[in-house]
Structure 1
Amino acid sequence: MSSTQNSSLAPGLTIIPTMTSVTWVYFSVTFLAMVTCVLGMAGNSVVIWLLSFRVRRSPFCVYVLNLAVADLLFLLCMASLLSLETRPLFTSSTSSRVYEGMKRIKYFAYTAGLSLLTAISTQRCLSVLFPIWYKCHQPRHLSSVVCGALWALALLMNFLASFFCIRFWHPDENQCFQVDMVLSSLILGIFMPVMILSSTILLIQVRKNTLLRRRRPRRLFVVILASVFVFLTCSLPLGIYWFLLYWVGLPEDGRLLYICLSRFSSCLSSSANPVIYFLVGSQKSHRLRESLGAVLGRALRDEPEPEGRETPSVCTNDEI
């Protein structure tokens, strides 16, 4: 592989051209990541189509729709990056520019997905802690405004990083890397604690209500907690690997293995949400007979589920 590709992976990282055991692991995990990206893009595309045309739109459905768009964009960029890295003709300047562009868009999608998932868990936490306010006093189009603001914030942060890197520090890749690391620390330092705190509170409240009322938790809460857990276990390593590569003196083979494994786990995270929706929303008695829209609508339903009765298959909040 070319030196251009090697510098794009991480500072000081080179891929040994000989087929060592580490190289075999790299290409094997890359192949699995590509397959996961394809399946994840198909799943998120189905979710986007259903929420756009088949399922009644609620505030939470707006969040899920935007999260699916962010995951789809992330998987598309990741698949493009992996394809470019494994191409034998990756030495052209055009491919290098496309690679850098895809990498920036991937960071943009990752930031947007992280912030949207944080907003989802925070709003659900507020709905549990302050149910009267949430039901009676929340702004009607709050979810749409929050989603738009988070997309704009992610775009602004990535645009500033790209602008300063290309305009002032293009010859010095180390300075560009430091800018990315600062932005990553801001993103993870702000959104990650909020997500963990709100999800923990939500889990405690849901568990308490389940024990006191002897009722199954809402499917919506199960979806949120499962999505947050998958993100923290699978997608978080991609957000912190820059810190490990910069501060920890890992061997070259160790860096390569950590990068490919973190990419694969992040692809799993972005591909897992559609699976979570349909697993949580499906009912055993009708698992093979229901439409995908009915299953998805039930999973995202923001109302208590009646005991012993079938639940409606639409999102039933007020915002259309």
Structure 2
Amino acid sequence: MVHCPVSLRANISIVLPSNQTDKMSSLSMFTISLHGLLSSIGIIENLLILGVVGFHVRRSVISVWILNLAASDLLATSSLPFFTLYMARGSTWTLGSTFCRIHSSIFFLNMFVSGFLLAAISMDRCLVVLRPVWAQNHRNVQLVGRICGVIWALAVVFTIPFYIFRDTIHQPNGKIQCYYNFARVLPADPFDLGHLCKQRKEALAFMKLFLSFLIPLLIIILSYAAVNTSLARRGHRRPFRFVRLVVAVVVSFVLCWAPYHFFIIMEVMAPSGHPAQRFAGKILPIAASISFLNSVLNPILYVFSCPDLCKKIRHSLGAVMESVLAEDLGEFGRRRSTAQSSISTTEIVLKQRNSITTFCLKGEDEEKNESLANPAEN
């Protein structure tokens, strides 16, 4: 298999003394446990949102946005256990190259979909405030559904390069890493492999930075700034819930995704073998884990901040528990009635048998008495 001249992650794996290895193993156990906890919380949250919003909430523009965001976050949190397995096995990938590409593509797909959806939701709220008449006439579920379809299609297109250049790389220390292999799909014309790998590496890093982070973040900030300016010009008071939600959305988006993009750019721009490159390579798995946290926070920010939806979730959970308890009680009642009916039936049959036996015995006694009374007839 052809690889780039300089291994992108060759300098990450180093031999540690025994005491440092013990410390790293303790840290790894904590990280693995944290991954498992985040994965469980994220899956439960997004499944709950999909179930409640999808089946118990009237279809609206907001519900369509929330459903698509929850679907993307559920996809990301569902893939997190495999990353946890990768860490639990000593940072070595054992699930094959094909699933390596699929797993990594899910991460990048969620990265693009989340950024595009957050930007679209911000623009939607901006249009509702700035152009209320246009929003009332043109803003509907069908339009938002088509926009979400375009967002998913664009995210899939932008994810294709990451699927192509993802591969399993065997390290000299025996570990297998699921990482980039920019030497795949080589051109037919003569080329410099080192220069080609460097170009592809930088292109994908800056594409992620601009398309999934900087541009959506700029749209989010400008949209909410326009909303704030419009409300201030009209003399309307900004509700505290709105301000809190805006600050939470921007802060969580920046805190979750900024470390990942920062260290990706550091690894790309630093010279090969430079301490900055080695440091970025070590921190990147942790930064990727932090970016997964955004899929756990989004349901809290966009859904649980709505009191009406929280009531629907509580009522839905209550209805589910009531139905389960009703089914259990009904099943218990049916079993009890069946047992009682079977007991009563058994008693009736036994009574009938006893009566028949008694009748037969009485008949035999009468026949014996008659034979003794009339011996001549015998």
- With the shorter chain as reference, the TM-score category is 0.7 to 0.9
CA distance in 1, matches of 2:239, 2:91: 55
Identical aligned residues as a percent: 22
Equivalent residue pairs, number? 280
- TM-score for the superposition, normalised by structure 2: 0.62
CA distance in 2, matches of 1:95, 1:136: 51
Match of 1:48 among 28, 50, 56: 50
Residue 68 of structure 1 is matched in structure 2 by: 70
Contact 1:199 1:228 in 2 (8 A): no
Counterparts of 1:178-217 in structure 2 under 5 Å? 178-187=202-211, 188-205=213-230, 208=232, 212-214=235-237, 216=239
Give the gaps of 5 or more residues in structure 2.
Answer: 1-5, 166-181, 188-192, 318-378
Contact 1:11 1:174 in 2 (8 A): no
CA distance in 2, matches of 1:178, 1:38: 34
Residue 245 of structure 1 is matched in structure 2 by: 267
- Relative distance call for 1:15 and 1:49 in structure 2 (3 A) is farther
Residue 311 of structure 1 is matched in structure 2 by: none
Note if 1:162 corresponds to 2:163.
yes
Higher RCO by CA contacts (8 Å cutoff, separation 6 or greater): 1
SS at match of 1:192: helix
Give the root-mean-square deviation of aligned CA atoms. Answer: 3.6
Match of 2:12 among 11, 14, 29: 14
CA distance in 1, matches of 2:91, 2:237: 61
Contact 2:266 2:277 in 1 (8 A): no
Residue 292 of structure 1 is matched in structure 2 by: 313
SS at match of 2:58: coil
Per-residue deviation at 1:80?
A: 1.5
CA distance in 2, matches of 1:160, 1:253: 25
Q: In terms of Rg, which structure is larger? A: 2
Residue 234 of structure 1 is matched in structure 2 by: 256
Contact 2:105 2:163 in 1 (8 A): yes
- Relative distance call for 1:250 and 1:57 in structure 2 (3 A) is farther
- Relative distance call for 1:246 and 1:163 in structure 2 (3 A) is closer
Query: Following TM superposition, where does structure 1 have runs of at least 4 consecutive aligned residues deviating by more than 6 angstroms?
Result: 293-296
CA distance in 2, matches of 1:55, 1:121: 22
- Relative distance call for 1:282 and 1:185 in structure 2 (3 A) is closer
SS at match of 1:168: coil
SS at match of 2:96: helix
Per-residue deviation at 1:223?
A: 4.5
Counterparts of 1:58-207 in structure 2 under 5 Å? 58-88=60-90, 90=92, 92=94, 94-138=95-139, 141-163=142-164, 166-168=184-186, 174=198, 176-187=200-211, 188-205=213-230
Per-residue deviation at 1:133?
A: 1.5
SS at match of 1:141: helix
Moved more, 133-142 or 160-169: 160-169
Per-residue deviation at 1:125?
A: 1.0
CA distance in 2, matches of 1:61, 1:83: 34
CA distance in 2, matches of 1:204, 1:30: 45
Contact 1:238 1:263 in 2 (8 A): yes
Contact 1:51 1:65 in 2 (8 A): yes
Give the gaps of 5 or more residues in structure 1.
Answer: 1-6, 297-320
Contact 1:26 1:256 in 2 (8 A): no
- Relative distance call for 1:57 and 1:266 in structure 2 (3 A) is same
Per-residue deviation at 1:293?
A: 6.2
Contact 1:231 1:269 in 2 (8 A): yes
Contact 1:117 1:195 in 2 (8 A): yes
- TM-score for the superposition, normalised by structure 1: 0.72
- Relative distance call for 1:56 and 1:138 in structure 2 (3 A) is closer
CA distance in 2, matches of 1:199, 1:20: 48
CA distance in 2, matches of 1:12, 1:178: 18
CA distance in 2, matches of 1:146, 1:91: 37
CA distance in 2, matches of 1:277, 1:191: 17
